[in-house]
Chains A and B, each alone.
Chain A
Amino acid sequence: MDWGFIIERSFSAMIGPEVVVYALAAVGLNVHFGYTGLMNFGQVGFMAAGAYGVGVSVYWLGWNFWVGIIFAFVYAGVLALLLGLPTLRLRADYLSLVTIAASETIRLLARSRVMQPITGGVEGVNQFAGPFYDLSPFELGQFYSFGPFKYLGRDVWVLMVGWTLLILITLMVRQLMRSPWGRTLRAIREDEDAARALGKNSYFYKMQSLMLGGMIGAVAGVIQVIQKSSVQADTFNPVITFTIWTILIIGGPGRVWSPIIGSSIYWTLIVFIENTLRQLPPDVRSTLEDTVQLSDLNIAMLRFILVGLGLMLLARFRPQGIFGSREEMALDRR
Chain B
Amino acid sequence: MLRRRGFGRWLFTGFVCATIFAVSPTAQAQSSDDLGVFGQLQYTDATGAKVFIEGVELSIDDVGGATTDKDGNFRIPVSSPGEYSITLNTATLPEGVTLKDPLRTNLVVTVSENADQRIIFPLITADTVIEVSESSFSVRRVSQLTLEGLKLGLYLAMASIGLSLIFGTTGLVNFAHAELITWGTLMAYFFNIYGLVGTFGFFAGWPAPFGAGVNFIVATGLAVVMGGVLGYVLNRVVFRPARKSGVSLLAQMVMTIGMAIFLRYVFVYFFGSRYRVYKDYGSQRANSFLGMELTSRDAAAMVVSIIILIAVGIGLSRTRTGRAMRAVSDNRDLAESSGINVERVIAQVWIFGGALAALSGTFFGFDTVKWDIGARILLLVFAAVTLGGLGTSYGALVGALMVGIAINWSTLVIDTELKNMTALVMLILALLLRPQGILGQKQRIG
Interface positions of A (Cβ within 8 A of B): 39, 41, 85-87, 89-94, 96-98, 100-102, 104-105, 108-109, 112-114, 122-123, 234, 238-239, 242, 245-246, 249, 293, 295-298, 301-302, 304-305, 307-316, 319, 330-334
Q: Is B336 interfacial (CB 8 A cutoff)? A: no
- Interface: B262 (CB within 8 A): yes
Tell me the complex Cα distance, A102–B431, Å: 14
Q: Is the interface of A mostly helix, strand, loop or mixed?
A: helix
B270 touches A245 (CB 8 A): no
- Asked if B431 contacts A87 (CB within 8 A), the reply is yes
Q: Are B261 and A98 in contact (CB under 8 A)?
A: no
Q: Interface digits, B264-303 against A, CB 8 Å rule (1 contact, 0 not)? A: 1110111000000000000000000000000000000000
Instruction: For B379, list chain A residues within 8 Å (CB).
Output: 101, 104-105
Cα separation A42 to B138 with both chains bound (whole Å)? 39
Give the shortest distance, in Å, between A200 (CB) and chain B (any CB). 14
Q: Is A304 a contact of B265 with CB atoms below 8 Å?
A: yes
A94 partner residues in chain B, CB cutoff 8 A: 386, 431, 435, 445
Jot down 21 A-B pairs with beta carbons below 8 A, ordered by A: A86-B428, A87-B431, A93-B390, A97-B382, A101-B379, A112-B415, A113-B415, A122-B110, A123-B110, A293-B270, A295-B32, A304-B264, A304-B265, A305-B265, A305-B269, A308-B259, A308-B265, A309-B262, A311-B261, A316-B247, A334-B249
Docked pose: A163 CA to B253 CA in angstroms = 32
Q: Total contacts A to B, CB within 8 angstroms?
A: 154
B421 / chain A contacts, CB cutoff of 8 Å: 105, 108-109
Chain B residues 407 to 446 lying within 8 A of chain A, measured CB to CB, are 415, 417-418, 420-421, 423-424, 427-428, 431-432, 435, 445-446
Give chain B interface residues in 241-273, CB to chain A under 8 Å.
242, 247-255, 257-266, 268-270
Q: Tell me if B28 counts as interface (CB < 8 A to partner A).
A: yes
Chain A residue with Cβ nearest B428? A86
Interface string of B158-190 (1 = CB under 8 A from A): 000000000000000101000000000000000
**Contact at B428–A312, with CB atoms within 8 Å?**
no
Q: Are A310 and B258 in contact (CB under 8 A)?
A: yes
Closest CB in chain B relative to A159 CB, distance in Å: 27
Task: Chain A residues near B247: list those with CB within 8 A.
Answer: 315-316, 319
Residues of B within 8 A of A333 (CB): 248, 250
Please give the distance in Å from B356's CB to the nearest CB on chain A: 20
Contact: A311 with B110, CB < 8 Å?
no
A308–B263 CB distance below 8 A: yes
Which residues on A sit within 8 Å (CB–CB) of B249? Answer: 334
Residues of A contacting B110 in the complex (Cβ-Cβ under 8 angstroms) = 122-123
Given contacts A41-B257, A109-B418, A112-B418, contact A298 B269 (CB under 8 A): yes
Cβ contacts under 8 Å, A96 to chain B:
173, 253
Query: A93 to B382, Cβ gap below 8 A?
Result: no
Is there an interface contact between A296 and B173, defined as CB atoms closer than 8 Å? Answer: no
Instruction: From the candidates B24, B251, B445, B446, name the one contacting A319 in the complex (CB within 8 A).
Output: B251
Known: A296-B32, A297-B114. A331 touches B251 (CB 8 A): yes
Q: Which of A245, A298, A312 contacts B262 (CB 8 A)?
A: A312
Across the interface, A331 reaches (CB within 8 A) one of B250, B269, B270, namely B250
- Contact residue among A89, A105, A311 (Cβ-Cβ distance under 8 Å from B424): A105
Across the interface, do A90 and B27 meet the contact criterion of CB distance under 8 Å?
A: no
User: B259 → chain A, closest Cβ, in Å?
Assistant: 6
The distance in angstroms between the C-alpha atoms of A28 and B428, with both chains bound, is: 23
Q: Is the CB of B431 within 8 A of A332?
A: no
- Closest partner residue, chain B, to A89 (CB atom): B446
B83 interfacial contact with A, CB 8 Å: yes
Contacts A308-B258, A312-B255; A86 near B432 (Cβ below 8 A):
yes
Q: Is the CB of B258 within 8 A of A242?
A: yes
Instruction: Tell me, in angstroms, the Cα distance from A298 to B259 when the chains sit together.
Output: 18
The answer on a CB contact under 8 Å between B259 and A312 is yes
In the bound complex, residues from chain A placing their C-beta under 8 Å from that of B258 are 242, 246, 307-315
In the bound complex, CA of A286 to CA of B386 (Å): 48
User: What CA separation (Å) do A176 and B435 show in the bound complex?
Assistant: 33
Considering the chains assembled together, what is the distance between the CA atoms of A94 and B389 in angstroms?
A: 12
A301 touches which of B112, B251, B255, B265 (Cβ 8 Å): B265
Please state if A249 and B254 are interface contacts (CB–CB under 8 Å).
yes
Which residues from A are CB-within-8-Å of B255?
A: 311-312, 315-316
- B45 CB to closest chain A CB (Å) equals 28
How far apart sit A314 and B421, CA to CA, in the bound complex (Å)? 33
**In the complex, what residue of chain B is closest to A310 when comparing beta carbons?**
B258
CB contacts under 8 Å to A, within B179-220, are: none
Complexed CA–CA distance, A93 and B170 (Å): 13
Q: In angstroms, how far is the closest chain B Cβ from the Cβ of A96?
A: 7
Q: Which residue in B24, B269, B420, B431 is a CB contact (below 8 Å) of A98? A: B431
- Checking A91, A234, A308 against B445 with a beta-carbon cut-off of 8 angstroms, the contacting residue is A91
B401 to chain A, nearest CB (A): 19
Query: Is B383 positioned at the interface, with any CB of A under 8 Å from its CB?
Result: yes
Nearest A-chain residue to B272, judged by Cβ: A297
Given contacts A98-B427, A308-B259, A308-B260, contact A113 B248 (CB under 8 A): no
Of A85, A91, A245, A295, the contact of B257 (CB 8 Å cutoff):
A245
The distance in angstroms between the C-alpha atoms of A319 and B173, with both chains bound, is 18
CB-CB under 8 A for A86 and B431, given A123-B110, A304-B265, A311-B258:
yes
Which residues on B sit within 8 Å (CB–CB) of A315?
A: 247, 251-252, 254-255, 258
A102 in contact with B424 (CB, 8 Å): yes
Q: Is B238 close to A, CB under 8 A?
A: yes
Most buried by B among A304, A310, A315: A315
